[in-house]
Structures are given as structure tokens and as C-alpha cells.
């Protein structure tokens, strides 16, 4: 059976964070039960397709999946178990936001077979959490981590954001040191991007908050890398750090440009050289399924050039780099055959390097990864 990953999108949040432009909505909780029923219908409509796959990883993300009640989450996991072949030791993650979860919910997740938690903390300073529109305090996070460990979870990720308005480099390193003290085995760090149509964008325009300058952003990224590496974390992807054996298998599949199927409003899939995306809007998504139609909004056949470009720039996100023999097995040619002078130039500029039949980003390439990736786009 072919390996595949499954993503489930839960587009509900208690409150919209001020920086967030994800496909998530607040105040739509009354739709949750029907949404979950439609989500299950979507999984059932895929039953036939799913039968040829072995599911290696499942990620229930959002939004805030931990906002769902116990019955809803149980129904989703039961539907997956009924309709998919899930590998014995599959990695099954759920995104959890402090303030929406308690020990009883965590116990249920564990009993259902969920074996990885991804907790959105973002900052360990309560004033900062308030400033960015989070609904929880740092103490809520600490309680949730303690409860998660009490019920048996060992595989825990925590998301943090740097380059937040008013944040200093010392404060950033302090947040990382708090997680290290707690021995959180996986840490994802993201630089704040001020997206249009968010309150933050308007506030920057109105000069109510100040965006961090590029130098500070870069300093925080580099200092963060140094600090986490010195504390025993493996920097295995541009934004991700893990203690040994705690790398996120679900995301590694994305970066290896593997196949995945997404269920839920706005979810994306990449199977059989076709990329699908679902209707973003919750009501539109549900109406389509109510009429027994798959909620697909867009379907694009992946060309060979798309697949090559994606394999290159996703693969280079991993610090282990791209194995040239694996690449040749997949495409019949090496990256050097395909990109020729482009790779030579990137190597001369010391943005990429060759290391034992592997191509990887250099330390400067890590910081300037977007420039490298642009060069790798094939028409």
C-alpha cells in the first residue's frame, strides 16, 4: 500500500488572534456539530480511494481543534479508524490551544490513540499574549503541559512567535529557555508576518504598533538557533527544532513532497500528481457535502516541472538537505542535470553546499532561503 498522510482542518477558534489570517473563524461554534458530521461524510466519500493507502501520520489542525467537544473528536477519530488503514505506530497529532483544553479532554485524546500534542503558546509573557489577542495565559500553558504529561503524553510540540511588536532579543531567548527548562521535545519558531486583512496590519498602518525591523528579526532567528542547538535540540528544518527522535513525521512528509489528503474546509491534498483544495468557507463546504458532492474548489494537475521545483525547495527546508540519489531515482536526472548554472551560482554565493551526495542550504542560505527557493522555480 502507498504511504500517505492525512490532515483534518477544524476552522473554529474562540477568538481570532490579531495577527492571524488562517482559515479560522470565531463565533461560529453553533456550526461545530454539523461541520463534524460533514467532515465525516467527506472522509466516507473518500473511502474507496483511501483503501489503497497506508496512513503513516494524521494531523488534526486548525483553527483550534481542542475547541471541539469530546463527542466530536471521538467521532472524527472513529471515522478515520473505520475508513482508513492506519499504520500501527502512526503519528497522530492534534493542535491544542491553552484555554480550550483540560485534563479530561487530554485523557480522552490519549485514550483515542492521539500520541502527539502541538500546543500554540506563542509567548511566555502574559502582556504579549494579550497584545497579540491570545485567549490564554502562560500559566494555562504550564498547567496543560503538566496535565498532558500526567495522562501519558511525551511527544509535545510548542509553537512560539518571534519578532513580535515590542519584543526584545532577551525576551525571545527567555521564552525559549522556559521551554528548554520544561524539556519540551519539539519547538517550532515562526517570525511574525504582518498579513493584510488582520488587525495587526491596520495597526501598523495606523502606527499604533511597530513592526520589528529586519535586523532584529534576523538577530532573533540566529540567536534562537544558536541557543536551541547549544541546548541539545536538533535544528532539522528552517523553523523546527527537536530533541532526538522527536522530529514531526507529518511535516517531514510535506517537506519530502510526499502524498497527503486533507479533509475539512480549505484543506489541501496532493495525491496522484493532482493538487486539490477544498472550499474555504464553512457554509459552502457543508452545503456541498449535504448535496453529496465533494467540496473541491480547485484541482490542478501537477506538471513534472512543478513536482521538481517543489521537491527542491521543500527538501532544502530540511537541514539534512536533498539526497541526490533519491532525487535521481524519482526524476531520472540529478538536480545538477536539471538546474545546471543556477546551482553553480547558488554554490558560488555560498547559499547552498554539497556534502556527500547531498545538497543543502548553508548557514547563509538558511537566512536567505526565500531567495534560493525563487531561483528553483521551473516554468
Least distance (Å) between residue 97 CB and ligand SF4: 5
Q: Which is nearer to ligand SF4, 76 or 225 (CB)?
A: 76
Per the listing, cell 527567555 goes with: 174
Minimum distance of ligand SF4 from residue 98's CB (angstroms)? 10
Would you count residue 24 as binding ligand SF4 (CB under 6 A)? yes
Identity of the residue, 24 or 251, whose beta carbon is nearer to ligand SF4 in the bound complex: 24
Non-local CB neighbours of 333 within 8 Å, separated by 6+ positions: none
Applying CB under 6 A, among 83, 97, 115, 309 the residue interacting with ligand SF4 is: 97
Q: In the bound complex, what is the minimum distance in angstroms from residue 18's beta carbon to ligand SF4?
A: 9
Residue 240: strand pairing partners: 188, 237
For residue 298, list its beta bridge partners: 277
Q: Of these, 17, 112, 121, 346, which contacts ligand SF4 (CB under 6 A)?
A: 17
Q: Are 221 and 162 in contact (CB under 8 A)?
A: yes
User: Using the rule CB under 6 A, is 321 a contact of ligand SF4?
Assistant: no
Contact criterion met (CB below 8 Å) for 135 and 94: no
CB distance 6 to 260 below 8 Å: yes
Q: Mark residues 215-244: x for contact with ligand SF4 by CB under 6 A, - for none.
A: ------------------------------
DSSP state of 31: G
**Positions 27 through 86 that interact with ligand SF4 (CB under 6 A):** 62-64
Q: Does 20 bind ligand SF4 (CB under 6 A)?
A: yes
Cβ-based neighbours of 322, under 8 Å, separated by 6 or more: 311, 312, 315, 316, 335, 358, 359, 360
- The interface mask with ligand SF4, positions 110-149, x = CB under 6 A, is ----------x-----------------------------
Minimal CA–CA distance to 259: which of 46, 57, 23? 57
Q: Which residues contact 269 (CB under 8 A, 6 or more apart)?
A: 260, 261, 262, 275, 276, 277
Stretch that binds ligand SF4, among 13-21, 251-259, 296-304, 328-336 (CB under 6 A): 13-21
Question: How many residues form the binding site for ligand SF4 (CB under 6 A)?
Answer: 11
What cell was used for 379?
516554468
Please give the residue ranges that form the binding site for ligand SF4 (CB under 6 A).
13, 16-17, 20, 22, 24, 62-64, 97, 120
Amino acid at each position: 500500500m502507498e504511504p500517505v498522510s492525512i490532515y483534518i482542518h477544524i476552522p473554529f477558534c474562540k477568538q481570532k488572534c490579531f495577527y492571524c489570517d488562517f482559515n479560522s473563524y470565531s463565533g461560529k461554534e453553533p456550526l461545530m456539530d454539523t461541520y463534524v458530521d460533514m467532515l465525516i461524510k467527506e472522509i466516507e466519500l473518500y473511502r474507496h480511494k483511501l483503501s489503497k493507502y497506508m496512513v503513516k501520520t494524521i494531523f488534526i489542525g486548525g483553527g483550534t481543534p481542542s475547541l471541539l467537544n469530546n463527542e466530536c473528536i471521538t467521532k472524527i477519530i472513529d471515522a478515520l479508524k473505520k475508513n482508513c488503514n492506519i499504520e500501527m505506530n502512526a503519528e497522530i497529532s492534534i493542535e491544542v490551544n491553552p484555554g480550550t483544553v483540560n485534563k479530561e479532554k487530554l485523557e480522552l485524546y490519549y485514550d483515542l490513540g492521539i500520541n502527539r500534542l502541538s500546543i500554540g503558546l506563542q509567548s511566555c509573557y502574559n502582556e504579549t499574549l494579550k497584545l497579540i489577542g491570545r485567549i490564554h495565559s502562560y500559566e494555562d500553558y504550564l498547567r496543560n503541559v503538566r496535565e498532558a504529561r500526567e495522562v501519558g503524553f511525551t511527544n509535545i510540540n510548542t509553537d512560539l512567535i518571534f519578532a513580535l511588536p515590542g519584543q526584545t532579543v532577551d525576551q525571545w531567548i527567555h521564552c525559549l529557555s522556559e521551554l528548554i527548562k520544561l524539556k519540551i521535545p519539539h519547538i517550532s519558531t515562526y517570525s511574525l508576518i504582518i498579513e493584510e486583512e488582520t488587525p495587526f496590519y491596520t495597526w501598523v498602518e495606523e502606527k499604533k504598533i511597530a513592526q520589528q525591523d529586519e535586523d532584529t528579526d534576523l538577530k532573533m532567528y540566529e540567536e534562537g538557533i544558536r541557543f536551541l542547538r547549544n541546548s541539545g535540540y536538533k535544528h532539522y528544518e528552517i523553523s523546527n527544532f527537536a530533541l532526538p527522535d522527536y522530529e514531526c513525521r507529518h511535516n517531514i512528509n510535506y517537506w519530502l513532497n510526499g502524498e497527503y489528503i486533507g479533509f475539512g474546509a480549505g484543506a489541501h491534498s496532493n495525491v496522484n500528481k493532482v493538487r486539490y483544495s477544498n472550499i474555504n468557507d464553512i457554509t459552502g463546504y457543508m452545503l456541498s457535502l449535504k448535496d453529496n458532492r465533494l467540496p473541491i474548489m480547485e484541482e490542478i494537475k501537477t506538471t513534472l516541472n512543478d513536482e521538481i521545483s517543489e521537491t527542491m525547495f521543500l527538501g532544502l527546508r530540511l537541514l539534512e538537505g536533498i539526497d541526490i540519489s533519491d532525487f535521481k531515482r524519482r526524476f531520472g536526472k540529478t538536480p545538477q542535470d536539471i538546474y545546471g548554472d543556477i546551482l553553480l551560482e547558488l554554490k558560488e554565493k555560498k547559499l547552498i553546499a554539497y556534502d556527500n551526495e547531498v545538497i543543502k542550504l548553508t548557514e547563509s542560505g538558511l537566512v536567505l532561503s526565500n531567495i534560493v527557493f525563487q531561483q528553483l522555480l521551473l516554468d
